[in-house]
């Protein structure tokens, strides 16, 4: 995401600065978008920010929740916001292609549910109950697995409209502002 693409986040949360992690194979970053390359790029880009860890709040949306959870597991940040997250990519695949053995076929897994119990920072999960891409049930299942996780359900929220809901912005802003 370009700096211009982050402008709307700064407008929503003017007290914060934002940096977007670019994944290999997307935009200008060369390479293949594998779990390993995305995690490596995420960590490298976080290091390049040069910010003290206590000034970092991780926010991931959709596929970006997988690397955000991994960065939290590695000790990055002080809070974690997950918008439309999943428990694992194989579970997302199984929800769409239940008759196929996707759990065995998927190489990139982003096993967020397995990592969640070891992440002790505050975590906010935001999910719409009508998400057509990542089922709401996966976000609802993930939130309580974090020792300090909380779920904010968006009634009638779909996968791509959550930032248009004022309560989402208010809830995320209040979460980020907590000491």
- Residue 125, pLDDT score: 98
Per-residue pLDDT tens digits for 78-98 = 999 999 999 999 999 999 987
Segment 34-45 mean pLDDT: 94
Q: Is the pTM of this model over 0.85?
A: yes
Give the CATH fold of the 53-177 domain: Rossmann fold (3.40.50)
Both structure tokens of 160: 């791509």
Specify the length of the chain in residues.
Answer: 179
pLDDT at 113 over 80: yes
Q: For residues 117 and 171, give the distance between their C-alpha atoms in angstroms, rounded to a whole number.
A: 23
Handedness of CA 35, 37, 43, 45 (dihedral sign): negative
Sheet holding 79-83, edge to edge: 57-61, 79-83, 123-128, 149-154
Q: Which helix (H) or strand (E) holds 150?
A: strand 149-154
Is the predicted pLDDT of residue 3 greater than 50, yes or no?
no
User: Among all residues, which ones are annotated catalytic?
Assistant: 62, 131, 159
Q: Would you state the pLDDT for residue 9?
A: 82
User: How is residue 164 annotated by DSSP?
Assistant: G
Please tell me whether residue 59 adopts helix, strand or coil conformation. strand
Residue ranges of alpha helices (H) inside the chain are 7-12, 35-49, 65-73, 89-96, 102-105, 112-115, 136-142, 166-177
**Minimum mean pLDDT range among 5-9, 10-14, 39-43, 63-67:** 5-9
Q: What is the arithmetic mean of pLDDT over 121-144?
A: 98
**For residue 5, is pLDDT > 80?**
no
Poorest-pLDDT segment among 48-62, 90-104, 113-127, 136-150: 90-104
Residue 6 has pLDDT above 80, yes or no: no
Average pLDDT for residues 29-36, to the nearest whole number?
90
Average predicted confidence (pLDDT) for the chain:
91
pLDDT at 142 over 50: yes
Q: Alpha-carbon distance 125 to 143, whole Å?
A: 6
169: alpha, beta or left? (left if phi > 0; alpha if psi -120 to 50): alpha
């Amino acid at each position: 995401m370009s700096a211009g693409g982050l402008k709307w986040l700064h407008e929503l949360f003017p007290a914060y600065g934002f940096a977007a992690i670019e994944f290999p194979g997307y935009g200008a970053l060369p390479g293949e978008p594998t779990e390993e390359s995305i995690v490596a790029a995420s960590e490298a880009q976080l290091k390049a920010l040069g910010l003290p860890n206590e000034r970092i709040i991780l926010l991931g949306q959709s596929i970006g929740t997988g690397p955000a959870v991994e960065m939290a597991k590695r000790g990055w940040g002080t809070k974690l916001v997950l918008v439309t997250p999943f428990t694992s990519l194989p579970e997302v695949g199984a929800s769409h292609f239940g008759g196929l053995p996707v759990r065995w076929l998927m190489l990139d897994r982003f096993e967020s549910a397995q990592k969640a119990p070891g992440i002790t920072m505050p975590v906010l999960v935001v999910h719409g109950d009508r998400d057509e891409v990542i089922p709401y049930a996966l976000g609802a299942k993930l939130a309580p697995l974090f020792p300090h996780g909380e779920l904010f359900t968006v009634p009638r929220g779909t996968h791509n409209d959550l930032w248009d809901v004022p309560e989402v912005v208010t809830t995320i802003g209040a979460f980020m502002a907590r000491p």
